Amino acid sequence: MRHTEFALGRPVTTVVTFVALALIGLIASRLLPLEKFPDIEFPGIFIQIPYAGSTPEEVERLITRPVEEALATLSGVEQMFSTSDEGQSQIFLQFGWDQSMGTKGIEARAKVDSIRHLLPDDIRRIFVFTGSLGDQPVLQSQANAIWRTATTCLTVCLNGGWRGSKACRASNCRVSIRVRSASC
């Protein structure tokens, strides 16, 4: 009750106190080093080997098993997961938090390269990913050729000055344009 009486009896002191606390909070929030995504290096390596036109059984027999056997000799591996899908093999290695992923990534690449002669000749690339949260993209963008054709078609139709309900045909698109105003 005393606090309430004091706050109501001295409103200027109460307002000045709250403004001072708000300013101290603002200053402290600006000085506090805080990152939305701190650079944490995840203790894992992801290996992807595309092999187009093959069944999951072929991928497992020709790619996944030999690569698993080679990677099993890496030191510090806690868990290994693999999937053999149609057209690709994916292998994930998990290490302890005390391991250096840069070094382990180089070692994994060397192990896979050492058995490259055992893998099918059709394999062009072997992807070895080591990552951290700082490697995540800030902006992702995707362009589609059909959309580009549709927008070109739309631009051609609008620049042609067609009014009413008209259809514009391009190589792979059909865009129907309905203009509601009198001018294009």
User: Does a structural domain hold residue 142?
Assistant: no
pLDDT confidence bin for 135, thresholds 50/70/90: low
Backbone CA torsion sign across 64, 65, 71, 75 = positive
CB 64 within 8 A of CB 84: yes
Same domain for 87 and 122? Answer: yes
Token digits of residue 17 = 């106190």
pLDDT confidence bin for 141, thresholds 50/70/90: low
User: Does a structural domain hold residue 183?
Assistant: no
Is the pLDDT confidence value at 160 over 80?
A: no
Same domain for 26 and 46? Answer: no
Same domain for 64 and 16? Answer: no
Is the pLDDT confidence value at 10 over 70?
A: yes
| Residue 22 burial by Cβ neighbours in a 10 Å radius (0-12, 13-18, 19+) | exposed
* pLDDT above 90 coverage of the chain, percent: 11
Residue 130's pLDDT is what?
Answer: 82
CB 106 within 8 A of CB 83: no
**What integer best gives the mean pLDDT of the chain?**
75
Q: For residue 16, what are the domain limits? A: 2-31
Q: How far apart are CA 35 and CA 82, in angstroms?
A: 33
Domain count, the chain: 3
Same domain for 124 and 154? Answer: no
- Please state the rounded mean pLDDT for residues 57-67: 90
Is the pLDDT confidence value at 24 over 90?
A: yes
User: Does a structural domain hold residue 137?
Assistant: no
Is the pLDDT confidence value at 36 over 50?
A: yes
User: Does a structural domain hold residue 53?
Assistant: yes
Between 65 and 132, the more confident residue is: 65
Same domain for 120 and 78? Answer: yes
Under DSSP, the state recorded for 179 is -
Same domain for 110 and 91? Answer: yes
Same domain for 23 and 95? Answer: no
Backbone CA torsion sign across 50, 51, 57, 60 = negative
CA atoms within 13 A on the CB side of 79: 7
Same domain for 90 and 156? Answer: no
